[in-house]
Structure 1
Amino acid sequence: MIFFGLAYMAPGIVTSTFGVISSESGGVAPTAYLVATFAMGLTAISYAVLARNYPNSGSSYTYVGEILGRHLGFFAGWVILLDYLFLPMVAWLIQSIYLNAQFPGIPLWAWVLINIVPTTVINLLGISLADRVNTWLTIVAMGILVVTAAVIVGYLISGSAPAGVSVAHTFWNPGTSVLAVGTAAAVAAYSFLGFDAVSTLSEETRNARRNIPRGIILVVLIGGGIFVAMSFLMQLMHPGAHFHNTDTAGYTLTVTAGGLTFANITNLVGIIAAFASGLAIQATSSRLLYVIGRDGVLPRTVFGRLNAFRVPWVNILIIAVIGLIGMLLDIGQATALINFGAFLAFTLVNLSCLVWAWKTRARRATGLSLLIGAVAALGILVDLFLFSQLQASAFLVGLAWLALGVIVLAIATRGFRRPVPRLENDTAVVTTEPEEPVTTAS
C-alpha cells in the first residue's frame, strides 16, 4: 500500500523539478519542500482520521458524503475524479516524451501505446499482480535515487563543490523571503498529489482501519523526506537560484556529478521505473470510479462492474482510452486539467474532519478534539492558498467539469427530486432502489 502511494507520487520527480523549486524559492529548495511536507501533512492527518472511521473505498467522495451530505460528497468525488481520470494520462505522456527524447526514432504515439497497454493488462489481472510489479518498479526507482545521492555526495566530498558553500544557506539565505518560499512550496505541493489515493484501496487492504491511516501518513512523510534530502544535496552542489535552464537543472547536476554516461543510464532506468506511477494511478483511479458507479450515481452496469479478478475492468479500460488523448496534448495542457480538483477536494476533506471532530467530541478528551479540529482548520487554510495559486486555465477546466457534474447529478436524482443514490454497506443495496442487490468489492 505504501509502495502504491509512493509510486503515485513518483519521488524521482524531485530531480526534474529541482530547478523550478530552487529558482522560485531563492535558492532554498529544501525549505520549500519542508513547508510543502508540513502543508500536505495537515491534510494527510484529516484523511487518516476519516479513513479510520470510514474504512471504505471512495476517498473524499465517501468521507464528505458521510459527514457533509451526499450532495457535497458527490461533488468532492466529482472534482477529485478530474485528477484521477487525467493523472494517468499525464504520467503516460511524461514517460513517453522522455523516452521519445532519448529514442527519437520511435514516434511519440508509439511510446504512449507502449506505456498504456502493459499497464492496463497488469491492472486487469488483479491487484495482487499490480502490487508485485509496482513494488519492484518502485524499489528500482528508489535505488536510482540512492545511487544518484551517493554520486552527488562523492562529488561534494571530493572537493569539486563550489567553495564557501554553507549548509545553513541551503535552508535560508539573504536572497530568499517568506513569500518566495511560500510560492515555491505551492509548486512543490503538486509533487505530493496522490497520497490520498491510498484511501481508495480500503476494501482490498487487511485491517483497513489501522493500515490505511498509517499508510497515508507514512507516504507523505517518506515522500517528503526524499524530496527534502535530494533537494538539499542538489542545492549544496548548486547554491543559489540561477540556472541556465531550470527545467533540466537536475539532469545537468547529475551530468556534472557522475558524467554524461551515468546521467543517461540513470535517466533511462528512472524513466522505466516510473512506469510504476502510471500503474498505481490507473489502479486507484478505476476504484474511485467503481465506488461512484456502485452507488448508482454513475451507471452501475458500466462503472460498478468487477471481472473474475475482482477488479473494475471497464473503468480500467476507460482510463486507458482517456490516456490516448495525451497524444494530442503537451505537458502544460495536460497538467492544467488535474490541479483544480485536488485542492478543492482536499479542502472539503479537511472541512469534513473539522465537522466530524465537533460532532463526535463527546467520544474523546477535549484536548484531542481541539487538536484534530485545529489541524483540519489549518489544512483548510493551506489548501485554499494552494487553490488560489492555480493558473487561469485550471479554473476554466475545473468550472466546466463542475458544470458537467451538476448535469450528471441532476440525471442521477431525477432532476434533484430524489436523494443522491447510496450504497449501504450493511445491506449491500442502494437506499433509493432497495430492490436491486449490488455486489460489494470487499
Structure 2
Amino acid sequence: MPNYSSGPEAAPPARAASSIQPQQIKLKRVLGLPSLVFFGLVYMVPLTIFTTYGVVSASTGGRASLAYIITLAAMIFTAKSYASMVKVFPVAGSSYSYASKTFGPNIGFLAGWSLLLDYMLLPMVSYLVIGIYLNILFPAVPAWIFVVACILLVTVLNVVGISSVATASNLIVLVQFVFIAVFVVIAVGFVATGNHSVNLGAPFTGDGGANVTFSTLMAGAAVLCLSFLGFDAISTMAEEAKNPKKDIPRAIIIVTVGAGLLFLVLAYISQLVFPGTGFNDPVSAASEVMLKAGGDFLNIFFIAAYVAGATGSAITSQASVSRILYSMGRDGMLPRRIFGTLSARFKTPIIPIMLVSVISVLGVNADVNLLFSIVSFGALIAFSIVNLSVMKRYLWDEKRRSGKDVFLYGVLPGIGFLLTLWIWTSLAPNALTIGVIWLAAGLVYLLILTKGLRRKAPQVEFSETL
C-alpha cells in the first residue's frame, strides 16, 4: 500500500468510516489460484463469444475462427508481459501501476485513463445485454427494469466484499461450462447426422458469402479483443491475492490460453452448424445457431446461461474498475478523499463502486457494437503500454542483457506490442475518434493536475510487504 505521511497524530479510530485514515485500512488477501482463475474466466465470460460471433463471422465471410487465432496470438504475448510485470509490482492498478513505476506517473496516468475507458464501459455492455435477453423471455417487463435490478444486485455484492464476488463468480462460471458442454454435445451430434453438407475447413477458409480482405479479417480480430478482457483484470486483484507474485502470473497465462482455445473451438463448431454469412441478424446470431442445433430447449438454456455470465461480468468488471479508481485516488491522480479511501466496515472502495453503478445506467440506450470497439480501443492501448513496460523494466532498468533475457523481455513483448498496435489500427474509425477524444481529455486533465507538467505528478510508494 502507499505510504503517505500522516501529519499530526490522528484521534483514536471511531466506527465512522470518515475517521479512518486510508493507510489504516487494507484490502483483504483472500484469493488463491483457483479463485483468481475463476475471477478471470467470469470476467471474460466464456459465452461472450456469442456476443460478437455473429457480427465478426458475417464481416469476415465465416472466418471467425481464423480471426480468433490472430487475436489469441497477440493476447498470449501480452499476457506474458502482464505476468512479468506483476512479479515486480504485485499491486492493484494493472497497467496504470506498471506504467507509473516504469515510465513515470505522467505516462502511468494516461495508461490508467485508457484502461478506464474499457473498464467503465464493460459493465454497461453487460447490463444492456441482460436487459435485451431477459426482455425476450419476459416481454411484458421493460428491459430497463431488469437493468436497474441487476445494477442494484451487483453493487451490493461488490460493496459487501470480494469474497462474495468470488463465490458468485465460481457459481456463474460453472453454469456457463455446463451449458458449453451441452452445446458441444448437441452441436457435434447435429453435424454428425449428415443431414446437411459440412465443410470442415470453412471456419478458416470462409463459406464464400463475402469478399474478405486481410484488413477485414484484422478488423474482426480487433473486435474480438473484447472477448479476452479478463486476464488483465486478474492483475487488479494483486492486493487481495494470498500469493500475488506466484499465483497472479499463473492465473493470467491459464485464463488467456484456456479461454482462447475455448473461444476458438466454440466458433469453429458454431460455423459448422450454421454458415457465418447466412444469419438473418448477425447481432442475435447465437439464437439462430442454438435453434438450428438444438431447438427451443438449447436456445432457452443459452439465454439463461448467457444472462448469468453477463451478470458475472458486471460483478467482476465493476470490482476491477473500482480498484483502479481506488489505486489512482490513493496516489493523488484523482481526488484522494473521494477515490482513495476504503470502507472501515467492508474494506472495499464504496465511492468508486457507486460511481461505476451510476455510469452503468447509461447503458440502457447505448449502441452495443460501438461499445465493443471503444472497449477494445482502451484495452489495446493498455496492452501496448504493458508490453513496452516489460522491455523498459527488465532490459533498461535492470540491465538484463543475456540472450535468454533479451528473448524473454525484449523479443516476446516486442512482438506483443507490434501485434496489439496492428490490431488497434484496424478498429472502426468512429471508435478510434472517440478513443482519441478520451485520451485528449485525459491529457488536458493531466496538464491541469501538474500545472502544465511543471509539477511532478503524484507517484505510488509501494510497501515491501506486498
Fold match by TM threshold 0.5: yes
Q: Could you say what secondary structure the match of 1:56 adopts? A: coil
3-state SS of 1:171 partner? helix
Query: Residue deviations 1:317-351, cap 9 Å, x none?
Result: 00001111122323245445433221112111111
| 2:149 alignment counterpart | 114
Matched, 1:148 2:183: yes
Correspondence for 1:327: 364
Equivalent residue in structure 1 for 2:231, among 162, 180, 195: 195
- The runs of 5 or more residues in structure 1 that have no matched partner are 428-439
Decide which of 103, 110, 114 is 1:79's aligned counterpart: 114
Residue pairs, 1:37-186, within 5 angstroms = 37-160=72-195, 162-163=196-197, 165-172=198-205, 175=208, 178-186=214-222
- Give the structure 1 partner of residue 291 of structure 2: 255
For residue 52 of structure 1, what is the amino acid of its counterpart? K
Q: Which residue of 2 is the match for residue 386 of structure 1?
A: 423
Q: What amino acid sits opposite 2:58 in the alignment?
A: S
Q: 1:328–1:178: structure 2 CA closer, same or farther, 3 Å change rule?
A: closer
What SS does the corresponding residue of 2:333 show, helix, strand or coil?
coil
Matched residue of 2:205: which SS? coil
Question: Structure 1 CA distance, aligned partners of 2:425 and 2:260?
Answer: 22
Q: Is the CA contact (8 Å cut-off) linking 2:226 and 2:375 kept in structure 1? A: no
Q: Secondary structure at the match of 1:418?
A: coil
Gap change, CA 1:31 and 1:335, over 3 Å in 2: closer
What do the CA deviations read for 1:98-153 (whole angstroms, capped 9, x no partner)? 21232221112211111100000001000011110111111111211111111111
Query: Which stretches in structure 2 are left out of the alignment for 5+ residues?
Result: 1-35
Provide the rounded CA distance (Å) in 1 between the counterparts of 2:417 and 2:80: 12
Write the letter of the residue equivalent to 2:48. I
SS in 2 for 1:159: coil
User: How far 1:177 moved relative to its partner?
Assistant: 6.1
Q: Deviations over 1:158-199 (max 9, x none)?
A: 333x23x24344333685665554343223222212321111
Question: C-alpha offsets along residues 236-281 of structure 1, whole Å, 9 cap, x if unaligned?
Answer: 2235644333223321121111112331233133313431010000
Residue of structure 2 in register with 1:288 after alignment: 324
* 1:50-92 Cα distance to aligned partner (Å, 9 max, x none): 1111111111111111111211111001111111122112211
Mapped contact 1:353–1:376 kept (Cα < 8 A): yes
Q: TM-score, normalised by structure 1?
A: 0.90
Coordinate RMSD, CA, aligned: 2.2
1:218 to 254, 257, 268: 254
Output the CA distance in 1 between the equivalents of 2:431 and 2:374: 6
Match for residue 20 of structure 2? none
1:405 aligns with 2:442: yes
Question: Taking every aligned residue pair, what percent have the same amino acid on both sides?
Answer: 37
- Residues 290, 305 of structure 1: 8 Å contact kept: yes
- Within 2, Cα distance between the matches of 1:398 and 1:300? 26
Say yes or no: does 1:19 pair with 2:54. Answer: yes
**1:141–1:274 Cα contact (<8 Å) kept:** no
CA change 1:85–1:177 in 2 (3 A) is closer
**SS of aligned partner of 1:423:** coil
Asked if structure 2 preserves the Cα contact closer than 8 Å seen for 1:91 and 1:278, the reply is yes
Q: How many Å separate the matches in 2 of 1:355 and 1:422?
A: 18
Instruction: Point out 4+ residue stretches in structure 1 off by more than 6 angstroms.
Output: none
Q: Does 1:349 align with 2:386?
A: yes
Q: 67-76 or 398-407, which moves further after superposition?
A: 398-407
Distance 1:276 1:354, change over 3 A: same
Q: State how far apart, in whole Å, the 1-side matches of 2:206 and 2:364 are.
A: 42
Between stretches 34-43 and 293-302, larger displacement belongs to 34-43
C-alpha distance in 2 between matches for 1:32 and 1:332: 17
**What's the TM-score once normalised by structure 2's chain length?**
0.86
Offset of residue 291 of structure 1: 0.3
CA distance in 2, matches of 1:170, 1:398: 31
Look up the equivalent residue of 2:108 and give its one-letter code: G
